[in-house]
């Protein structure tokens, strides 16, 4: 079994390129593969701590775009003026809470993850709940034709969730980015082109 190395190639690359965390390369790979983000878009980032996804989105959408990050924890990284932060729990957040930023978004991202117990079934159930909450918010806030990307731990409700995504979006794909640790059970589900 490979020993977990907190300071691997991606960690050093992130430091060198000015990103606060290595997780940025998961989003970057998905974006490169499916063209998720474009200049001028409005992006909602759920579970945005420590902020590397916010940094990446801010660069891609540019000053004409908007990025709103939600997390229960405070973000300490410095961000440009077109990035806004809300300290909140996604289960207590309503779409109306975001309307002063924008009534709708072009892309909703979720890197939400539960505090893990090490019990696989418990962790995957908690991850599914977070994913479904992110999807419910995306349902309310995404424009028709908008995109959703969410992290999930594979478990018993995985197939059901994929079916639900397929009923709402025209294209659905599972991606395990190279920056994901080998022992991790996480996968990213990308759902493109929300149906009207």
Active site residues: 151
What's the token pair of residue 136?
């419910």
Q: C-alpha distances in angstroms, 82 versus 20, 32, 105, 157? A: 18, 22, 14, 36
Q: Residue 47: left if φ>0, alpha if ψ -120 to 50, beta else—which one?
A: left
In contact, 60 and 38? CB cutoff 8 Å: yes
Question: Is the peptide bond preceding residue 131 cis, with omega within 30 degrees of 0?
Answer: no
């Amino acid at each position: 079994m490979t020993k977990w190395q907190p300071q691997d190639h991606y960690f050093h690359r992130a430091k060198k390129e000015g990103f606060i965390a290595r997780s940025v390369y998961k989003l970057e790979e998905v974006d490169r593969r499916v063209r998720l983000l474009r200049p001028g878009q409005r992006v909602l980032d759920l579970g945005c701590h420590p902020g590397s996804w916010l940094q990446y989105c801010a660069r891609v959408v540019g000053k004409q775009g908007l990025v709103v990050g939600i997390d229960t924890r405070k973000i300490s990284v410095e961000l440009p003026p077109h990035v806004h932060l809300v300290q909140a729990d996604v289960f207590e957040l309503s779409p109306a809470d975001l309307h002063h930023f924008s009534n709708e978004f072009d892309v909703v991202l979720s890197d939400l993850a539960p505090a893990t117990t090490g019990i696989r079934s418990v962790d995957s159930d908690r991850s599914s709940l977070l994913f479904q909450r992110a999807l419910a918010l995306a349902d309310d806030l995404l424009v028709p034709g908008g995109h959703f990307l969410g992290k999930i731990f594979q478990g018993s409700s995985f197939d059901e969730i994929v079916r639900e995504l397929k009923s709402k979006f025209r294209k659905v794909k599972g991606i395990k980015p190279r920056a994901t640790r080998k022992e991790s059970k996480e996968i990213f589900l990308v759902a493109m082109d929300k149906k009207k």
